[in-house]
Chains A and B, each alone.
Chain A
Amino acid sequence: MKLFKNILESVKPHFVEGGKLEKYYPVYDGFATFLFTPGHTAHSGAHVRDAIDLKRTMVTVIFAMVPALLFGMWNAGNLHYSALGLAESMTFMDKFLWGALKIVPMVIVSYGVGLGVEFIFCIINKHQIQEGFLVSGMLIPLIMPIDIPLWMVAVSVVFAVVIGKEVFGGTGMNILNPALTARAFAFFAYPTYMSGDKVWINTSGAEGQTIVDGFSGATVLGSYATGGEVQYSTMDMFLGFIPGSIGETSTLAVLIGAAILLYTGIGSWKIMLSGLIGALAMGLLFNTFAEYAISPEQQQFMAVPAWQQLIMGGFAFGLVFMATDPVSAAQTERGKWIYGFLVGFFAIMIRVFNPAYPEGIMLAILFMNVMAPLIDHYVIQANINKRKKRLATVKAS
């Protein structure tokens, strides 16, 4: 600790005004405040302050994502070896390490590129580094397929940070969730790497290893969309032994994360609960009207029990970690109910009605991100109208 302090003190003169690296002060500041919460004291207003800050908030969300990340590593290895027919002979650690070797580089690329871009913007704008990307940087690898090339991750991250966030003014100002912006970019720019039934399980074997007969790499949603046979049990879906984006498959791991977010109060329970209700409502509507479906595939999909929709695909992951992003979600408490409900509602609607986009939650959240300011506007307008009405009553009496 003393050592870090000394290092920081010794390099500081280069970064302060008049130093050689003055321009790069935000970079220094970013590292210094990462190591030490600065001992700034209150100079105006209240003299005591809550111990929470944005770093703490963000790191809590990252902790909440760790179960999904670890499970994703094991699951990627497990699916890989299963496809090669080696699942029985490989140990738990083999599978986990195989996955870790694929995923850790993605995490590093995501953070490295994203933070790099943020640093550049901060240097140009002479801003302090804000912590928003700490969460986005972890989310992005978790919502990508295992086989996506690292350079695509990098390009998506650049797009998300620049177009999704910095052009609006940086952390706290963005309209769309940056992580989903990255995924949407990759989805539309490199569709062959982001959808279909080839990308979710790595099947590249070493010499002599071949894919087992009857193997299908389709996700549950993919199977429903194309009318294929779903080869996974409900329990598999809940626990996450299914193909999908890296972090999204295990509803259980996501629920552990949700518990952390809800207990600490960092994630909005209103959005999660109303999202759940919205999804169930849409699912039940589909169940009721399944017989009117236009195709047998659609009918099969519409008839899926409403609760089962919740554990398929990225619904749970998106609702818990991305719909609750406070910046891009509705910001009023009443607005959160409406926003969450519609996220859930549209997520199920899109995945069932539009086989081209089996991952409905991504588009549902992005759509509602755009709509959130409108929801807030009407919620606040109602508050204003109430105040005006009160005034009118007073004047009349």
Chain B
Amino acid sequence: MPEVIKIKKGVDIKLQGEAEKIYASADAPSTYALKPSDFPGVRMKLKAREGDEVLAGDPIFYDKNRPEITFGAPVSGEIAEVVRGEKRRIIEVRILADQETRYRDFKAADPSSLSRDEVKAKILEAGVWPVVRQRPYNIIANPNRVPRDIWVSCFDSAPLAPDADFVVHGQEEEFQLGVKALMQLTDGKVHLGVDGSTNPSEAFKIDGTQLHRFKGPHPAGNAGVQIHAVAPINKGETVWTVGIQEVIILGRLFKSGQYQAQKSIALSGAQVNKPRYYKLISGANLKSILEGNVANDNNRYISGNVLTGTQISSEGYLSYYDHQITVMPEGGEDQFFGWIAPNFNKFSVSRAVFSWFAPNKRRNLDANLNGEERAFVVTGEYEKVFPFDIYPVQLLKSIMIKDIEAMENLGIYEVAEEDMALCEVICTSKIPVQETLREGLDLMLNELGD
């Protein structure tokens, strides 16, 4: 058993509404959607048209810059609608699902017996390649590269995140098959980062992989943090990251030859009446699981967790990389002398707010900014929740002035938005950290390519 690596910086935001470890059932959603906004850095081109019949795994989009990357339909059915926004930019492609999903057959195979190119070709062909992402830039991996390593974080430390052991339970074989496929794609190792505070599940013990145990507050479960702690990414290096449930989807592809996009989703948050797990297919419409199951209130619906998730409507769709739905109160009320009030019920890492009386209390937080955007004034606060040997404020400032050399020098290759999400949460000046970082990553990507 490897030694536990302690992540000291970070903070766990304790929220109400953790999902109980039971699978609840709901009516199968009738529509599914693929949202281009889930894939930064991609220029989407439609491959299917409204009215087309597709099977699960048939390509819906491809990336204009890297046409070999296609995005497979998660279900079979009819392309019902292409929702467009300004300048005809595609917002969503909605699929009206068949009662019974019909799959395109990509032929089952044992990944260990295939060559690297064959493994790659199968994943690309089935439109599943987008599950593989790369650092730097946190975008879909460039299939023409051979990554230094591949990293799978086997736990999620974000607030109310689904429990990895629970999710993998019963799918150990698929997970291991998926990892074996990944092992073909790198000359380095496939690294598995597991929660060091519990005994790792047997599913994560796979010959030929490197197991690491991490302990500490969020963001200890982020792949970026784990990579930084073990072997930081240097300029010119690429490390691929794949989520645990995405590994299982890859495993299923090799086991059955089909793109089976089922995921275990934690429906969580203080506004949910019965927070439970659901088995849903990627891109599912969430109306059927939300309707009647949330407080009758001004709610905010989030696909993902409260740190990095995207706001959706109560009839919105599950985003591509998310395994969690959070429903929280929207807030939005002005607060009389809020800057002097003790604010017992709010979250803060600072003891200038009187919530330090009950640090372990699970809270019901709303989406209020609790202040207005200001210039950077307070120093040393990001550093408390950012477990990288990187100067976060200076990195952000280099992005704001679009200084590419400084961004590179200050370590932008190692970080993704999720790694800096806590900086944004605790920021006194309410700086839009994740948005700024994304701008920086996009700028680098445009200038230097992947």
Contact = CB atoms under 8 A, between A and B. Distances in A.
Nearest to B332: A39
B336 A35 contact: yes
A289 to B, nearest CB: 36
A52 B371 contact: yes
B409 A387 contact: yes
A266 B328 contact: no
B403 interface: no
A333 interface: yes
B371 A53 contact: yes
Nearest to A127: B375
A38 B334 contact: yes
A62 B249 CA distance: 56
B350 interface: yes
Interface stretch (A11-19, A70-78, A81-89, A170-178): A170-178
A322 to B, nearest CB: 15
Interface stretch (A40-48, A188-196, A358-366): A40-48
B375 A171 contact: yes
Nearest to A387: B411
A54 B391 contact: no
Give the interface size bracket for A toward B. Answer: 35 or more
A206 interface: no
A266 B350 contact: yes
A383 B300 contact: no
B370 interface: yes
Nearest to A390: B234
A55 interface: yes
A6 B342 CA distance: 24
Interface stretch (A107-115, A154-162, A235-243, A323-331): A323-331
B302 interface: yes
Contacts of A33: 372
Contacts of B64: none
B372 A46 contact: no
A391 interface: yes
A37 interface: yes
A263 interface: yes
Nearest to B375: A172
Nearest to B13: A48
Interface string B300-311: 101000111101
Contacts of A287: none
A208 interface: no
Query: In this complex, which of B236, B307, B355, B425 has the most chain A Cβ atoms within 10 angstroms of its Cβ?
Result: B425
A169 B237 CA distance: 39
B401 to A, nearest CB: 13
Contact of B426 (A50, A54, A172, A331): A50
Interface of B: 13, 15, 159, 232, 234-237, 300, 302, 306-309, 311, 326, 328, 330-340, 343, 346-353, 355, 365-372, 374-380, 383, 389-391, 393-394, 409-411, 417, 421-422, 424-430, 432-435
14 contacts: A37-B334, A37-B339, A38-B372, A40-B372, A45-B308, A47-B307, A47-B326, A50-B347, A52-B352, A52-B428, A56-B371, A173-B375, A326-B377, A380-B394
